[in-house]
Amino acid sequence: MKFINLCFQVHQPYRLRTYRFFNIGQDHQYYDDYQNRHIIRRVAERSYLPANKMMFDLIREFGTAFKVTYSISGPALEQLMHHAPEVIHGFQELAATGCVEFTGETYSHSLASLGDKEEFIRQVVKHRDRINDLFGQNPTTFRNTELIFNDEIGLTIADLGFKTLLTEGAKHVLGWKSPNFLYYSAVNPKLKLLLRNFRLSDDIIFRFSNRAWSEWPVTAEKFVGWMNKIPENEEVINLYLNYETLGEQQWKETGIFDFFYNLPRTVLTYSPFRFSTPGEVSKLLQPVAPITVLYPISWADEEKDLTAWLGNELQDEAFRKLYEIGNAVLQRNKPDILRDWERLQTSDHFYYMCTKWFSDGEVHKYFNPYASPYEAFINYMNVLSDFTIRVEDDEHPLPDVKIEEVKQTKPSVKKKATTKKAKTSPEKITPSPKSKKASVKKDVPKSVISVKPKSQKKAGKTAKK
């Protein structure tokens, strides 16, 4: 039997507002709340909600013959719970079918695996606990941020108890070998590796609506025909896509939903492939060979390396400055400091600083709030400078605000947080107008904090990188 793994990445970062040099030391509000709310609701309306409904309809029609896998980042979970909780409820309904697997990843969709091993482990554990709380699954499959992988990362992930890891089928790593087999890590044979078939995946992500492409239009029948041309001995096709491909990057008018509605019936009727999840495939198939990855690979551009996020002077300087303060952040043990630390680690901030041309650049320009990588760098470093002052200032520590972890079993979101003087919410913590302004070097807002609790609303029209 041959298998097809349909795996979707769900991620939206917290975008930064325009933060100028003169804000440093005076203003700790880093996020563009309007844009974040607008984008997550738009994507929910165009993509997540109709896609979840489609997946549920397909499972109801085909039962266990159709299966799907999701990797949902912490920032996406938080924003969906606050602005579109019905999306979370949809994922919970899918989880209850038994036909869906949720993978582990870094909580803040970060590059911590390249910069701080302890922080990497902390985030992986935090994300695993959150997935367990929300969807009742303890992930055994891991998908690192941007599919980044090397042997050292594999060792860490295996030590954390994961059985399977998803990464890119990079040509310079595979050589003559095909990505359409189950492999294992050369440094730990217990860790199974499933490699993305980037040609078939990118046909959907980037080329699906390209009328200049010789293969346009792409139909389910044509796509399954391509699958059937794969050599008979090759056992598994791994399609790893952004969930936003459905309805946001590829609009409904392109026929993307019709394509996926027709895909399961066409696969099951006209091919030897059967839908599965990574965890199931790693148990059903025997790995054919070890894979050695000395230098990190990713799923970006032709090189499949890290240069979309790290490599130029802007990215390297920002990355170095960010992880220099990691120990100090954890020592402070302040919920608001830890929250901002995690959000500043999201890989998107470094992606916006990329100065090279890469094949998926047009897609990511769609979500890029900056006019140039230099503007992205300056804005990020201004925010990071203020954040560093907050972390290093021991004379006037920020008020200790307890933020309660949200355990989601229904689409409603409970928000409780308290201080001695004011009621607070995990959504937004802002200094009151009476708070004393901070100087650049040492003063920070004092004890008074006021919060405007937000009422729960159903998602309207609004929602990746």
Distance, CA of 138 to CA of 142 (rounded, Å): 11
CA nearest 182: which of 276, 275, 290, 334? 290
392 is catalytic: no
Looking at the DSSP bridge assignments, the partners of residue 462 are 41, 42
Distance, CA of 102 to CA of 301 (rounded, Å): 26
Stretch (H or E) spanning 130 = helix 117-135
How would you label 354-366 residue by residue, b for 16+ Cβ within 10 Å and e otherwise? beeeeebeebbee
Of the candidates 45, 101, 105, 146, the residue annotated as catalytic is 146
Give, to the nearest 10 degrees, the angle between helix 74-83 and helix 33-43. Answer: 90
CA nearest 69: which of 138, 5, 145? 5
Q: Is the dihedral of CA 461, 70, 230, 148 positive or negative?
A: positive
Distance, CA of 20 to CA of 33 (rounded, Å): 17
Distance, CA of 50 to CA of 46 (rounded, Å): 7
113 Cβ neighbours under 8 A, 6+ residues apart: 106, 120, 144, 145, 148, 153, 156
Parallel, antiparallel, or unpaired: how do β-strands 423-424 and 417-418 relate? Answer: antiparallel
Distance, CA of 15 to CA of 35 (rounded, Å): 7
Are 121 and 156 a contacting pair, CB within 8 Å?
yes
Q: Record the tokens describing residue 169, joined without a space.
A: 């089928």
Stretch (H or E) spanning 92 = helix 85-96
Distance, CA of 378 to CA of 254 (rounded, Å): 37
> Which residues are known to be catalytic?
146
